[in-house]
């Protein structure tokens, strides 16, 4: 089976003054279509850098990154924006909603960039928000919503273009335990019943075990990969 995401001997080096800092050092990672994988590691391990590469938000210094068979390593920013806009839905710890837009407008925004007609955008966004229990909050702005409601808006936005890959970066980090559990159950649902490929970036041991496979990062290197089978507790 062809992987949907693959990193081959990927390095990411930053120049700080006179010093080269290697955030990633020759990592190899393969994510199959429909897989739920957690990238786990402590602060400073390279998780965020790896996430940015997997999510087509950045390109490697050396090595190759493939998304759905296409090598994105040397793509222009405009080409990267197009491919991530079609292929990846992002869920961030800090929600990253646009404060001046309503819940409905935040969810329709990715579809606007993909040229989806307005009537279809509104219908799809409304249906998604109702699915997440936010039918009465369509016209509310982020500062009028609780943290849990904002994260549900962010999840609806991630699903707006029906992407094959959902990239979740510490998605429960700013939520209470009950809401965080609901978010993780949702990710399992998207994986199990809708065939989405889930890449979860976390430092949390318990969250990581909800995935089917964990790749452990330390000092910019994958030191271990193990299957865990997805713990539903």
Write out pLDDT tens, residues 87-109.
999 988 888 899 999 999 999 99
Taking a C-beta distance cutoff of 8 angstroms, is the pair 182, 133 a contact?
Answer: no
210: containing domain: 33-59+84-227
**Dist. CA 73–CA 80, nearest whole Å:** 9
Q: For residue range 185-215, list pLDDT tens digits in order.
A: 888 888 888 889 999 999 888 888 889 999 9
The pLDDT of residue 114: 87
What DSSP string runs through 127-190?
A: HHHHHTT-TT-TT--GGGS-HHHHHHHHHHHHHTT--SEEEEESTTTTS-HHHHHHHHHHHHHH
Return the pLDDT at 181: 83
The residue-averaged pLDDT of 139-161 equals: 92
Q: Is the pLDDT of residue 14 over 70?
A: yes
In a domain, 25, yes or no: no
Mean pLDDT of 127-141: 93
Mean local confidence (pLDDT), 119-130: 95
**118-131 and 147-159 helices cross at what angle (nearest 10)?**
140
Q: Residue 112 falls within a domain, yes or no?
A: yes
The pLDDT score that the predictor gives to residue 194 is 83
What is the pLDDT confidence band of residue 74, given thresholds at 50, 70 and 90?
confident
23-37, 165-179, 199-213 — which one is most confidently predicted on average?
23-37
In this prediction, residue 233 carries a pLDDT of: 44
Task: Provide the pLDDT for residue 63.
Answer: 96
- Is the residue at 68 inside a domain? no
Which residue matches tokens 């050092």?
25
Question: Which residue blocks in 65-146 are alpha helix, DSSP H?
Answer: 77-87, 103-113, 118-131
Q: Please give the helix or strand (H or E) that residue 50 lies within, else none.
A: helix 47-54
Give the Å distances, CA to CA, from 30 to 6, 48, 149: 5, 17, 33
Average pLDDT of every residue of the chain = 90
Output DSSP code: residue 80.
Answer: H
**Average confidence (pLDDT) over 132-146:** 94
CATH number of the domain encompassing residue 194: 3.40.50.300
| Structural domain includes residue 66 | no
Enumerate residues 6+ apart whose C-beta is below 8 A from 108.
121, 122, 124, 125, 160
- The residue with greater pLDDT, 133 or 102, is 102
Does residue 19 sit within a domain? no
Asked whether the beta carbons of 184 and 191 are under 8 A apart, the reply is no
* Residue 230 confidence class, pLDDT cut points 50, 70, 90: low
Total domain count, the chain = 1
Rounded to the nearest 5°, which phi and psi values hold at 88? -130, 130
Q: Which of 226, 214, 220, 224 is nearest to 43 (CA)?
A: 220
């Amino acid at each position: 089976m062809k992987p949907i995401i693959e990193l081959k001997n990927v390095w990411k080096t930053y120049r700080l003054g006179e010093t080269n800092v290697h955030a990633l050092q020759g990592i190899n990672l393969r994510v199959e279509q429909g897989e739920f994988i957690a990238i786990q590691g402590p602060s400073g391990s390279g998780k965020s850098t790896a996430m940015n590469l997997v999510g087509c938000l950045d390109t490697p210094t050396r090595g190759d990154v493939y998304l759905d068979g296409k090598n994105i390593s040397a793509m222009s920013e405009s080409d990267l924006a197009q491919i991530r806009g079609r292929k990846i839905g992002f869920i961030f710890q800090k929600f990253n909603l646009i404060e001046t837009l309503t819940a409905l407008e935040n969810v329709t925004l990715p579809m606007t960039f993909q040229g989806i007609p307005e009537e279809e955008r509104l219908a799809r966004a409304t249906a998604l928000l109702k699915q997440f229990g936010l039918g009465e909050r369509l016209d509310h702005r982020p500062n009028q919503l609780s943290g849990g409601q904002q994260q549900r808006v962010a999840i609806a936005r991630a699903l707006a273009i029906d992407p094959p890959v959902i990239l979740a970066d510490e998605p429960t980090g700013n939520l209470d335990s009950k809401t965080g559990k609901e978010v993780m159950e949702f990710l399992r649902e998207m994986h199990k019943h809708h065939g989405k490929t889930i890449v979860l970036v976390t430092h949390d041991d318990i969250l990581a075990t909800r995935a089917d496979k964990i790749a452990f990062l330390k000092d910019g290197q994958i030191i271990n990969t193990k299957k865990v089978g997805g713990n539903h507790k």
